Amino acid sequence: MGWSSPDSWLTRLFSGDPLVILLAFLVVIALPSLLHLYFYTQSARTKVVPTFLLLGPSGAGKTSLVTLLQKRSSNPEDTEPALTRTSQVPWGVSLLLPASVPLGSNKYRSRNDVSLKDKHPTRYVMIDTPGHGKLRTDQALSQIKNPGLRGVIFVVDASVLGSSDTSFLRDTAGYLHDTLLALQRQRTGKASGKTKTNIPVLIAANKQDLFTALPTGAVRERLQAEIERVRVSRSKGLSTVGQQPDTDAEEEVLGGGGEDKFSFKLMEDEYGISIDVVGAAVKGDEAGKGVRRWEEWIGGCL
């Protein structure tokens, strides 16, 4: 064994043995295809779970809704959400959509289709986010970039929107404005080339069980009017420090820089972001029924 001996395997390796050449040739041919095969199957294996993002100001009932849905996925009759406090961290929960809720992908199936009979509950993920002002951009709005995102549920507290103190309304509208702007940016952005799925928004007007709660129509009106105000004052406001002056103004204004007043319909026409307002209550006697409507909306997105 050693370099000096002509019979050692090392010497043979370098001496141009046809067997060695063949082996090297095989490796060169096979390696790329093997690597490709490996990575291809790997990426296919990590299947994207449909994800929903739960946004909304603090105290609107996001965490309550999540706990209620979580309880309902194990027991559909459960109507009592857990006791909750202010959240500090986002929280992804795997939930089951009841089999009775129709799915969006089955829209064109006949009602008597056999495949609908033995349907399993659909699994999806809901990300609950903290609604506190300091944590919004960091922990909540950053989740919009999630590739599996199928929809955004924006929970509002319908019982305080109508109060004479407009700070709640302003806060809610400001947050909704930021959310829609983030969605719009993602839609028009250049970077995200291939995956431009439609991300619909559900405005869940929560706390309909309370006496002061606004009906859904009024919630829609107020939010639209207030977002228009936010939009106007943002467009007039000071530029931020360190900003490049040549950024496209068109992209930075919600609903484009058009003359029209802001409305949810405008968002749908211009950017394909459909916005629905559905009212319900997480707590109270009618909880199950109302949350069912939200579940149907979720089903429509799957």
Partner 1 sequence: MLDVFEILTTSGVVLWSRSTSNIGASAVNSLINDVFIEEKVRPPASQSGHPAYKHEKYTLKYTLVKDLGLIFVAVYQSLLHLTWVDKLLDDIRTIFVQVYRGQLEELDHAVLKYPFDKYFDEELRRLDQSASAHGAETPRVQVQEEKKISAEEADTGGPPPPELPQLLKAQPRAVPVVNGDSTQHTPAQSPNSSRPTTPLPGVAGHLLTEKVRPGSRGSRRARKAAHTVTTNASSGDEARRSKTPQKAAKKGRVWGPDGMADEVDDKNLDYSAIDSDATGGAGVSSPAPEAITQDSWGTKNKQGQFVLKDLGDEVTNILKSADTGRVQTQGSGTTKLGAISGYFRNIVGGKTLTKQDLDKPLKAMEEHLINKNVARDAAVRICQGVEAEMVGKKTGAFESIETALRPALETSLRRILTPRSSLDLLQQIEAVTTPSGAKAKPRPFVVTILGVNGVGKSTNLSKLCYFLLQNNYRVLIAAGDTFRSGAVEQLNVHVRNLKELTARENLGAVDIYERGYGKDAANVAKDAVAFAAANDYQVVLVDTAGRAHTNTQLMASLEKLVDLAQPDLILQVAEALVGNDSVGQAQNFTKALGKNRKLDGFIVSKIDTVGSGIGTMISLVHATSVPVQFIGVGQHYGDLRQLSVPWAVTMLMS
**Residues near partner 1, by CB under 8 A:** 63, 67, 70-71, 74-75, 82-91, 93-94, 128, 130, 132-138, 164, 166, 170-171, 174, 229-230, 233-234, 236-243
Closer residue to partner 1 in complex, CB, 104/162: 162
- The tokens for 151 are 């929809």
Angle, alpha carbons 104-277-116 (nearest 5°): 20
Instruction: Give min distance, CB of 112 to partner 1, in A.
Output: 35
Least spacing, CB of residue 69 vs partner 1, in Å:
10
CA distances from 146 to 52, 53, 140, 187, 295 (A): 10, 9, 11, 13, 21
Question: What is the Cα–Cα distance from 65 to 208, expressed in whole angstroms?
Answer: 13
The 10 Å CB-count burial string (b at 16+, else e) for 184-213 is bebbeeeeeeeeeeebbbbbbbbbbbeeeb
**Closer Cβ to partner 1, 177 or 199, answer by number:** 177
User: What interhelical angle do 167-188 and 264-271 show, nearest 10?
Assistant: 10
- In whole angstroms, the minimum distance from the beta carbon of 133 to partner 1 comes to 4
CB of 233 to partner 1, least distance (A): 4
Q: Closest CB to partner 1 among 71 and 187?
A: 71
Smallest distance, partner 1 to C-beta of residue 24, A: 31
Closer of 8 and 88 to partner 1 (Cβ): 88
Residue placing its CB nearer to partner 1 in the complex, 105 or 233: 233
**Distance between CA 138 and CA 210 in Å, rounded?**
32
Beta carbon of residue 229, minimum distance to partner 1 (angstroms, whole number):
6
Question: Which CB atom, from 19 or from 241, has the smaller least distance to partner 1?
Answer: 241
Distance of CA 253 to the CA centre of its chain: 21
Question: What residues pair up with 217 in beta bridges, in sequence order?
Answer: none
Query: CB-wise, 20 or 225, nearer to partner 1?
Result: 225
Q: Least Å distance between CB 161 and partner 1? A: 12
Based on its alpha-carbon atoms, the radius of gyration of the chain, rounded to whole angstroms, reads 27
Q: Tell me which amino acid residue 111 is.
A: R
CA distance 172 to 56: 7
Alpha-carbon gap, residue 179 to 186, rounded angstroms: 11
